[in-house]
Structure 1
Amino acid sequence: MSPVDPDDPIAAFMFLTDPPEHTRLRRQVSRAFTERRIAGLREYATSTAQDLVRSMLAVGDGADLQSAFAYPLPIAVISELLGIPDAGRDKFRRWADIVLRSAGLPDDEVYTGFEELRRFVIDVVDAKPDGADLLSQLVVDSGEGDGLSRAEINAMALGLLMAGYITTAHAITTGVVRLMLRRDFFTGLTERTVDPAAVVEELLRCQDEEIGIQRIAQRDVEFRGALIKHGDTIVVSRVGANRDPDVFGQGDQVRPGGDNGRAHLTFGFGPHHCLGAALARMELTVALVTLATMLPTLELAAPLTEIGWQSDGMDISLRSLPVRW
């Protein structure tokens, strides 16, 4: 394996590799996503979510749920997971917002933001180990035979940020919208008459934050009578797959407690199945239960037809989510 420039974490992104290299990288990071670590983060996420709602209540009887709650929660959890020092978390979030919420920003501003974020992550990793966080554990394990290099740890930190920040925030906002349209399920969370895990699983299945995923065929493949040639670019729709009527029946409807709970492809499938799936499920559960418990009268503050959407590449998201209580 050729050495990777430790200052170029993109070159070591795990999701850009295939087995056996991908297997080695995934095995190392999987050790860090233990049930104990997720349980510890649940306590932190719950406390953070409650503090965010208290801040919303202190301001008035309405807010933009996206900026006041959905974005701050996952970035706080990611910071805690990675062991980002308290003094650097505001910078971390500002750069992450520039890079990952870049729709409409000038290219040079996005590039500068990414360079600053990249340098920040490298400096944080260089200062490890200094605690029990994920990055510290990866640095300690780097001395093992198949441990990650410093460049690979840098890449893992950036990759976890990119995969676990915006996608989780969007899952929270779109999940809230769907629960506002199905008030019985939101009330069920408030009164604890429905299983939060079942509700979260259905909301994840119904996620529609992407237009599709671009992939390049590695060999000729015949699919349902059509020939996909080696090198062809295809767009795969997980959104469409998660609504396949042959699998989910009325797949566009949220139906918690059905038999299709974990059959969806929101987190992918096979060797590239999302490493942070358990973390994302935990965060979404904490977010929705906290909102339903502390803001039982939560409702949309504008008609759904007036809530704007935006696209950034192949991803789509709400511009804001005005709510009141």
Structure 2
Amino acid sequence: MDVTDHTYPFARHCPFAMPEEFGWLRGHQPVAKVRLESGDEAWLITRYEDVRAALTDPRFSRSIHRDGAAHVDTGFQADADSPLFNFGGTISEPPGHTRWRRIVNRAFTPRQAESMRKEIAAHTDALLGELVARGEGFDLMADFAYRLPITVICDLLGIEDAARPEFTELAAQLTRRDMQSSFIEFGQALQSIGRYAVGLIVRKRKDLGDDLLSTLITLRDEEGDAEGLTNEELVSTVILLLMAGYESTAVQLGNIFYALLRDPDQMRALREHPERIDRAVEELLRYAQMGTGYAIAKFTTEEVELSGVTIPAGSTVFVSLASANRDERIFGTDADTLDLNRAKAHRQTAFGYGPHYCLGAALARVEMQEAVARTLTRFPGLHHDGDLDAVELTSNLFTYYPRELRVLP
């Protein structure tokens, strides 16, 4: 198979079936040149171990908008002259990222996430209770998958109940639920949520609470008793929380339920063995990803050798977490199937790896565990209302997911 004849991203013909090119590349050319839709060349990394190596190597920069970088035609047009173009740049690369991460890691801990489990369970039960009271079908995306994460984010930021509708509306705009297609529209949403975040931070500084944002305001960099996070860094953190903790969690929840609905035997097994929820969620994170191929893009600042292949400096590189999650060398010859009892599922790379490992991974796990377990318990007959193969998928540039997921209880 000559994948240089196949435009990247590769065509996906079935929701959770990886394009066949990935399997061939893992076996024959784990570090390979590909041609993008723009006509530019880039590199693609597909094996598990190589993916992890690239994610920890500082020569792979996250700043991909540089001279000589490949043009990535996502259909989402950016304006490089806009001051918003490099938003969050102060915390995206060392040394700024190292310092920022050192501070915020003290707030985002598995213990902190576990301390919120009862609260998250209560939110989940309340939302499911509303759906039960309806006594009819509902959209798992709009009525549940999006509502739970934004409620948790509001708790984290200490947003009062009366202010939550405004914040939720702004968050929906920022995370592209209104499907804006230009950088100007994205910038407008970013400015709106940024202004909201500034006001929220100012209020919190005057009246600290026991929420996570208050904690972030008070934390200092323990190395040399340095200062804490600046207002700009705090605003960036709030926005990153929204984009990762809200949208990504909602999308992943939708894909998890979509995968379970497509495999009723696995869903039945989990319902019969709820004690397996932790391992099941790890497997669903591994399997139920529908990446567009654009999620992890890097730019090599120096020449890099990986699996015996030399990637020149100044190259655009795509690091495929989805392919790593289907690597037969790690997950077995049945890696393309869903097995909620898979022993090595915890090695999945859905949250990334290395210095940019998802800050909210522990919290997302708790949300998904509670959401899946309680939904299956509350709705023992849960099934899709229609043809599962006809479910329309949409995209946020990085991930495909159901636009709607109509179900009957």
Q: Same fold (TM over 0.5)?
A: yes
Deviating 4+ runs (over 6 angstroms): none
Whichever residue aligns with residue 31 of structure 1, its letter is: R
Instruction: Give the 3-state SS of the residue equivalent to 1:262 in structure 2.
Output: helix
Between the aligned partners of 2:364 and 2:382, the Cα distance in structure 1 is 23
Match of 1:218 in 2: 301
- Alignment CA distance shift 1:320-1:35 (3 Å): same
Query: Which is worse superposed, 220-229 or 60-69?
Result: 220-229
Distance 1:188 1:131 in 2: 43
Aligned runs of 1:125-274 on 2, under 5 Å?
Answer: 125-129=201-205, 130-142=208-220, 145-212=226-293, 213-224=296-307, 226-249=309-332, 250-274=334-358
Tell me the amino acid that sits aligned with residue 266 of structure 1. A
Cα deviations by residue, 1:76-113 (Å, 9 ceiling, x for unpaired) = 11111121222221111111111212464364544332
- Superposed counterparts of 1:305-324, under 5 Å: 305-324=389-408
1:11 has 2:88 as partner? yes
Unaligned regions of 5+ residues in structure 1, if any?
Answer: 1-6
Contact kept, 8 Å, 2:103 with 2:220, in 1: the verdict is no
Do the aligned partners of 2:259 and 2:288 also contact (CA within 8 Å) in 1?
Answer: no
- Matched residue of 1:56: which SS? helix
Distance (Å, rounded) in 2 between the aligned partners of 1:110 and 1:153: 20
Higher deviation after alignment, 96-105 or 42-51: 96-105
**Is the alpha carbon distance of 1:298 and 1:232 closer, same or farther for their aligned partners in structure 2, counting shifts above 3 Å?**
same
Q: Hey, what does 1:302 align to over in structure 2?
A: 386
- What is the CA-CA distance between 1:221 and the residue it aligns to? 1.9
Q: What is the CA distance between 1:40 and its match in structure 2?
A: 3.1
SS in structure 2 at match of 1:323? strand
Counting aligned pairs with the same residue, the percent is 34
Deviation at 1:274, TM superposition (A): 1.2
The one-letter code matched in structure 2 to 1:133 is D
Moved more, 277-286 or 258-267: 258-267
C-alpha distance after superposition, 1:185-237 (max 9, x if no partner):
32344334551001000001113232222111121123345432211112221
Q: 2:347 is paired with a residue of what secondary structure?
A: coil
Is the 1:74–1:164 Cα contact (8 Å) retained in structure 2?
A: yes
Looking at secondary structure, tell me which structure has more helix per residue.
1
1:287-298 matches, within 5 Å, as: 287-298=371-382
Instruction: Verify the 8 A CA contact 2:328 2:335 in the aligned structure 1.
Output: yes
Say if 1:35 and 1:237 are closer, same or farther in 2 by CA, change over 3 A.
closer
Q: SS of 1:290's equivalent?
A: helix
Equivalent residue letter for 1:241: A
Task: State the shift of 1:313 in Å.
Answer: 2.3
Which amino acid counterpart does residue 154 of structure 1 have in structure 2?
Answer: V
After TM superposition, give the deviation of residue 239 of structure 1 in Å. Answer: 0.6
Alignment of 1:42-121 (within 5 A): 42-102=117-177, 104-105=179-180, 107=182, 108-121=184-197
Counterpart pick for 1:33 among 103, 108, 127: 108
Whole-Å separation in 2 of the counterparts to 1:52 and 1:284? 14
Greater Cα shift, 302-311 or 204-213: 204-213
| Residues 64-73 or 259-268, more deviating | 259-268
Deviation at 1:155, TM superposition (A): 1.1
Cα distance change on mapping 1:110 and 1:278 into 2, 3 Å? same
SS at 2:254 equivalent: helix
CA distance in 2, matches of 1:47, 1:156: 26
Residues 185 and 199 in structure 1, CA contact (< 8 A), matched pair in contact too: no
* Secondary structure of residue in 2 paired with 1:317: strand
| Structure 2 residues not aligned, in runs of 5+ | 1-82
Distance 1:71 1:180 in 2: 18
Compared CA separation, residues 146 and 258, structure 1 to 2 (3 A): farther
- Cα distance 1:305–1:227, how it changes in 2: closer, same or farther (>3 A)? same
| 1:4 aligned residue | none
CA-atom RMSD in angstroms: 2.2
Deviations 1:13-62 (A, max 9, x none): 63x123x4322211211111234432332122111111111111222320
**Preserved CA contact (<8 Å) 1:201 1:261:** yes
Partners of 2:218 and 2:306 in 1: how far apart?
Answer: 46
Q: Deviations over 1:160-184 (max 9, x none)?
A: 1111111111111111122223323
Q: Which whole-Å CA distance do the structure 2 matches of 1:37 and 1:194 have between them? A: 22
CA–CA distance in 1 between the matches of 2:181 and 2:110?
41
Per-residue displacement from partner, 1:220-265 (whole Å, max 9, x unpaired)?
1233454322111122211111001122121111223333122121
